[in-house]
């Protein structure tokens, strides 16, 4: 497989649901309905349950940044923002999506 081809396979084969579930698990949350096949993802909390939606919720996305020491890059000429670690960089016009995808990729490595 050519270098970088795994990223192409990732983008084609991983859904938003799978990425959000991977992020929830990475944050240590227990999924209330782990077999659900659609968003939103429901997680157990100290207060009962809550909706986990880091693709839309800036607070949840920033919690991922803090937890995994991600770096955030300024928008490039194409308007894409980046979320990256020492060995992984994800570009997307939507910063929350870049963050979620970066963390999900970290979990699959």
The count of other CB atoms within 10 Å of the CB of residue 62 is: 16
**What pLDDT digit, counting tens, does each position of 47-99 carry?**
899 999 999 999 999 999 999 999 999 889 989 998 988 788 999 999 999 99
For residue 82, give the CATH number of its domain.
3.30.2120
H-assigned helices in the chain: 5-13, 16-26, 58-67, 95-108
**CA–CA gap between residue 14 and residue 63 (Å, rounded):** 22
Question: Domain containing 53: what range?
Answer: 5-108
* Number of domains the chain contains: 1
Instruction: Kindly tell me the burial class for residue 102, based on how many C-beta atoms sit within 10 Å of its own C-beta (0-12, 13-18, 19 or more).
Output: buried
Q: What's the pLDDT at 34?
A: 86
Q: Which helix (H) or strand (E) holds 41?
A: strand 41-45
Question: pTM of the predicted model, to two decimals?
Answer: 0.84
Please state the separation of Cα 48 from the chain's center in Å: 23
């Amino acid at each position: 497989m050519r270098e970088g081809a795994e990223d192409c396979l990732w983008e084609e084969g991983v859904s938003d649901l799978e990425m959000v579930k991977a992020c929830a698990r990475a944050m240590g949350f227990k999924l209330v309905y782990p077999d659900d096949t659609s968003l939103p993802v429901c997680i157990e909390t100290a207060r009962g349950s809550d909706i986990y939606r880091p693709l839309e919720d800036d607070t949840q996305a920033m919690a991922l940044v803090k937890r995994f020491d991600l770096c955030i890059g300024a928008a490039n000429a194409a308007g894409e923002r980046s979320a990256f670690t020492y060995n992984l960089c994800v570009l997307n016009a939507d910063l929350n999506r870049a963050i979620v995808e970066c963390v999900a990729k970290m979990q699959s490595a």
